[in-house]
Amino acid sequence: MNDQTQLQELMRRSVGDAGPDLDRLVGGALRDGTRIRRRRRMAGAGAGLAVAAVTAVAVGVLGSGSGPRAVDPASETASDAASTSPTPQRQGYYEGRTYDFGGGITGTVVRCGEGPIDPDLGRPTCALPSEYAIQQRNTLEGSGEGWAVVLTGPADAINDFWGAGFDDPRLQRGGLTIAIRADSPLIAPVNQGQRVSIDVPGWTLSPEIVDDKQELSGPDGAVADIVWRRASDYAGWTAGDDKADGAFVSDVHDGVFVTIQGGQGTTQADLDALGASLRWE
């Protein structure tokens, strides 16, 4: 049996028959999806024809069956018409050009500096000043090489746009780098210096917070996580459904709360004890 077959078999065994609570999933998806629609409508109300042009192009991309990511367009035509720059007749990327992506999101074109060589591609990567945080780089060859588009706008709108794979042809060109401002709340960690401690014999709490998580190590190799979460998510964790089953949920403290979730070797009694001992510092 080769590695791939082994991995496929292990994946099948590991996920087993795991499945979500369909009623809760549907309810949550309808609620959140409706909220996204409403936000788009509100943001789009004042955007005018430029947004209509973007939507038309986006529908065209989807209609082609290529999914939310399009291949590098061979030419720049209708998609460039939605530029908000004062010289819309100028084609292609140039320093300072701006695009309106709808939803209050604006993209500004900046020229890349020459970064380290990408070992997979044999080409230089895009280097940007420290005020920008690179979030995605298209590794196909194309007209986007040497350019970055910096997105600014409402955090939720950028997050949605991101989740949809930047579904806009102007961001799908080969080689293009996409960045946001380094001071964007989108990339700020949940934890803003708050600290907690636990006091259960045999258990230790790692001081580092990685990916919004802190590791708990207990007797006999038991592990658990303290997960830092935004206060805006608190209602979802205390709604009375089974989302928090098996996890300890703290009170909100200074705009955040934590959950304690068990890993291998952790019992419910361990989680209860860890939760009971949790202290904010």
Chain positions 249 to 278 lying near other proteins, rule: CB under 8 A, are 259, 261, 263-265
| Residue selected from 13, 74, 86, 193 as contacting other proteins according to rule CB under 8 A | 13
Residue 233 makes CB contacts below 8 A (sequence gap 6+) with none
Residue 237 makes CB contacts below 8 A (sequence gap 6+) with 229, 243, 244, 247, 249, 257, 259
Q: Give the residue among 151, 155, 161, 156 at the shortest CA–CA distance from 128.
A: 151
Q: 19 or 86: whose CB is closer to other proteins?
A: 19
Instruction: Give me the phi and psi of 244, to 5 degrees please.
Output: -95, 5
**N-to-C CA span, the chain:** 53
Size of the site for other proteins (CB under 8 A): 74
Under rule CB under 8 A, residue 59 binds other proteins: yes
| Residue selected from 46, 63, 129, 193 as contacting other proteins according to rule CB under 8 A | 63
In the complex, the smallest distance separating the C-beta of residue 182 from other proteins, rounded to whole angstroms, is 11
Residues 278 and 224: their CA atoms lie apart, in Å, by: 14
| Residue selected from 106, 127, 142, 160 as contacting other proteins according to rule CB under 8 A | 160
Residues 196 and 198: their CA atoms lie apart, in Å, by: 7
- Which one of the spans 3-11, 42-50, 96-104, 195-203 is the region binding other proteins (CB under 8 A)? 3-11
Q: 85 or 146: whose CB is closer to other proteins?
A: 146
Under rule CB under 8 A, residue 11 binds other proteins: yes
178 with 171: CB under 8 angstroms? yes
In the complex, the smallest distance separating the C-beta of residue 124 from other proteins, rounded to whole angstroms, is 16
Q: 84 or 135: whose CB is closer to other proteins?
A: 135
Q: 88 or 246: whose CB is closer to other proteins?
A: 246
